[in-house]
Structure 1
Amino acid sequence: MHHMSHRLPLSYTSRAALLVTLLTALLLFALSANAQQVQPYVIKTDTGLDECPRAGKSSCLERLFKGSYSGSYYLAHDNGLEVVLERDRIRTYIFYVDTPGKAPFNGRNDKGIGKGSNMDDVIRAYGAPEERSAPPEPPIPGRARIIESYFDYGSLGITFSFADERLIDIRVYTVIPPGADPFADPFADLSQRAGGALTVARELVQHTGHSHIYAANIRSSQSSQLKKLGVSANVITCFNQRLTLPLIERHLSRAFADEFTTDQLREGLTFYKTVSGKRFADTFRISTLELLLIPTEERLPELSKEDRQNIAAFTRTPVGQQSVDPQANVIRRAAPDMQRAVSELLEQCNTQKAKH
């Protein structure tokens, strides 16, 4: 029995990955027609973009912006964006606002600074810069030239560049805390920066419907495998009864809590509590059950234009991305614990049968 319980979770994992991949493709296709209606991005001083936060992994850039890697840069000039990387982490965002030869970035920062802003607008929003470029040399008589300058707010990690007084780009970069070693790895403590509240994570998982999907998938795939191996109906019944939603939720909740901050979890929970969020969760759950060929009397909800816009915006956030991404960190975090739980339940049910 030990050999069997080792093999079965692997079969379940590969099948789940395939199904979620197919479902993700269907959802993204359904939303693609409305992609142009998605609201502009908000450039945040502390994260750069909440949808792909600074210090996070660069892989999320590929899902949001069409670009390419060039050395330590990710270049997405068609989207008005360059990103400086350190290994696979995002170190600096460069948002092109009004730069010749570059497409303008679709967004403004959280203080309303963007295309059309000037030096006075930045000072009104942020106060006097902590550092600014030196006054320009006198122009050469008879030759027009553009004066380039910058305002830097080092304690915030944001720089504004200007051509004359017109804002041309915004940079959001990793700040080295006061007193810290400037040569130390700024991403060394990333594992300590999440650790969201487990209670919030569990409520989020309950609203997403992921626990229902995993339970149905595991029961279906394991029951089929166990029957092929000649395992008795009593063991299969025992396994299906003990594979409860709270058991699944415990492992998924821990993965979400380890991956996100409490604020990010609450942001995701807020979405799922909306009408659009509930319809999105129902669509994801019912579509998955259909792909699993598991009978359900539920019908797919009708998604309005507003629903599609809200869903498209949500799936750009960190929690939203990982809710539909089969390669998401939360899936990888949860998989080993889920496999162990499945193996333990099989052993328990087999042992119970042997005792009787």
Structure 2
Amino acid sequence: MCGIVGVTGNENATDILLDGLQQLEYRGYDSAGIYVNDQQGDGFLVKEKGRIADLRALVGPEVKGSTGIGHTRWATHGVPSVKNAHPHVSADGRFFLVHNGVIGNFSQLRDEYLADVELKSDTDTEIIVQLIGKFADEGMDTLAAFRKVLGLVDESSSYAFLLMDKEQPSKLFVAKNKSPLLLGVGDGFNVVCSDATAMLEQTHDFIELMDGEVVVVEPDKIQIMDPAGNAVEREPFHIDMDPQAAKKGAYPYYMLKEIDEQPGVMRTLIQEYFNEDGTVKIDQELLDALSKSDRLYIVAAGTSYHAGLVGKELFEKLAHIPTEVHVASEFAYNPPLLSEKPFFIFLTQSGETADSRQVLTQVNEWGYPSLTITNVANSTLSREATYTLLLHAGPEIAVA
């Protein structure tokens, strides 16, 4: 879990980045950093170990610009430290990169291409930005170098990349695979974020990205390309959420706030899915698909798995439908023997859970129907499942 933010075309870039990272601090809190460029040739890189407040304390009034990127880290490669914090920088100081995810073959890439480069961190992320710098130094333009590196990353890797080139300071270069990333459309500027809650103060209109796509974001335009380099047109979707819903308000902790919100969420669910006479407001096609199945397979991770165990009791005792519950990471590598007419239910708050998505990909290849129950509309598992039901629980900030 890490958080990414980016903005281009807004003179308040520093404040936007810091405020966005504050909203994403629950996704990474061992270190954080920002890089901001003022379009006049000056760039400012600030990184610090610890919380966002520690980073804010280091950001002086001189750190200002209209384009920048930021990251809050939850360590995977290397201990929490300033040197391992993002953004990471190429050897020549030209490229700056933030990254969510894990690069499976980073050590092979390091040994094959970067034997002559002195690395400054212990991270897999630095390998990527050093490779981009190396290929650019050999004559490639930034986009070509970026795409070449993406082609070298093995398919098992997960990434959400946000790259800046000091020589093209108004552009953000973006790519994703298995890790969430959104483009936000502002009024005369554009933003990038790993979670919409980070940018709700700036915009409510977002463009979803698909795995393998590469994007160039400028203040006045967004260019999306598929893996083959073809242009992709995609309209934004609107998120109707009050930015204050993602704040603690009078509560000392998000956990307490979200516990207290549960009765209200239950009322919302009743209003959303039941008529006044008690009949359900759920798509009949989904109900028919459920009734035709001979066994339900609930797939989830963490606390969602525990909720699935409760669901199993309810399905079997009240509806008399045989039900199995599986930990997503285990199912992906060791699928059970399936019944003749299985129906899969995926529980995921974010709709981006990587292990669950791996199972859903298998289920789609097998041709079985599926339902995603999630809190995030237009999320990956929501888009890729046959059916979706939303939880309407508001933004989840507390992470047990």
One fold, TM greater than 0.5? no
Give TM-score scaled by structure 2 length: 0.27
> Could you say which structure has the higher strand fraction?
2
Q: Whose helix fraction is larger, Structure 1's or Structure 2's? A: 1
Structure possessing the higher relative contact order (Cα contacts under 8 Å, 6 or more residues apart): 1
Structure with bigger gyration radius: 1
Q: TM-score, normalised by structure 1?
A: 0.30
